[in-house]
Amino acid sequence: MSADVPRRNPRKVSASVTRGGAPAQERKLRSQGKETLRRLLDAGMVTFEKRGYHAARVDDIVKVAKTSHGTFYLYFANKEDLFWALISDVTEEMTALSASLGPVGGGRKGYEELRAWLDKFWDLYRRYAPVIRAWTEAETSDSEMGTFGTQVLSRFGRRLADRVRESEHPAGIDPDVAALAMVAMIERFNYYAVTRAVEIDRAQLLDTLATILHVGVFGGTRNRRLEQAAGS
């Protein structure tokens, strides 16, 4: 697994605080400035959602934000810069989320833990859907953006791998590899749902994901799950 991809514009990742592009960061923003910055970020979100990363024009963003071209460059170096600002937030929150998965035993409790965690992932994914979609698009051509943020994925991977290692997993499975497979399934399935490539409801998605992974990776068995459900 390759190491974390270095950020091109190394900027401390911390949402809501460091928000705003390079040019803006060298200045202290008064309330009017903050308001404009906020409008630009929101407009970016809206525009990337509507058009996708490549098709999004600075002009579109500026129109949505009801401000001028000149102003845009007062806050961001360029479109990419604005995009990084948005990505930072996702990255940070995703990282936090990845850390929050507790031990996943083969029993009912493990199942519940896993499902609850996937539930939080669903929420987070949905909240940042526009950015994530654009990210998916951008990363293909711009290697610097990394495959859905390689750092995000690998952070998820590491945590999951740890949890697998603790569990009674099936023979022939390498925890690190299994973790990646899980990330793939979780991320993409949510992606399908978000992009409406398929129509699927929340409970169904969560039940299915949780079950497959619990049984397939964490040694949960149908029987054991049923017994324990009955016993508890």
Residue 140 binds to its own copies (criterion: CB under 8 A): yes
Residue 157 binds to its own copies (criterion: CB under 8 A): yes
Residue choice 74, 137, 158, 162 for contact with its own copies (CB under 8 A): 137
Query: For residues 41 and 28, is the Cβ–Cβ distance under 8 A?
Result: no
Subset of 82-111 contacting DNA (CB under 7 A)? none
Which of its own copies, DNA, none lies near 46, with the C-beta cut-off 5 to 8 A by kind? Answer: none
Residue 205 binds to its own copies (criterion: CB under 8 A): yes
DSSP H or E run through 122: helix 108-127
Residue 207 binds to its own copies (criterion: CB under 8 A): yes
Q: How many CB atoms lie within 10 A of CB 95?
A: 16
Q: How far apart are CA 12 and CA 132, in angstroms?
A: 20
DSSP at 144: G
**Closest separation in Å from C-beta 4 to DNA:** 10
Residue 70 binds to DNA (criterion: CB under 7 A): yes
Residue 196 binds to DNA (criterion: CB under 7 A): no
Residue 28 binds to its own copies (criterion: CB under 8 A): no
- What b-and-e string marks burial along 107-123, b requiring 16 or more CB atoms within 10 Å of the CB? bbebbebbbebbeebbe
Q: Would you say 25 or 147 has its CB closer to DNA?
A: 25
C-alpha dist (Å) from residue 77 to 11, 21, 85: 14, 7, 11
Residue 173 binds to its own copies (criterion: CB under 8 A): yes
Query: For residues 186 and 118, is the Cβ–Cβ distance under 8 A?
Result: yes
Residues near 7 by Cβ (< 8 Å), separated by ≥ 6?
13, 84
Residue 133 binds to its own copies (criterion: CB under 8 A): yes
DSSP at 218: S
Residue 2 binds to DNA (criterion: CB under 7 A): yes
Which of DNA, its own copies, none lies near 27, with the C-beta cut-off 5 to 8 A by kind? Answer: DNA
Q: Per-residue x/- marks for DNA, 20-59, CB under 7 A?
A: -------xxxx-xxxxx--------------------xxx
Single-letter amino acid, residue 181: A
Question: Residue 69 corresponds to which tokens in the numbers above?
Answer: 């071209």
Rounded to the nearest 10°, the torsion over CA 56, 62, 68, 73 is -60
**Closest separation in Å from C-beta 4 to its own copies:** 11
Residues binding DNA (CB under 7 A): 1-3, 5, 27-30, 32-36, 57-59, 67-74, 77-79
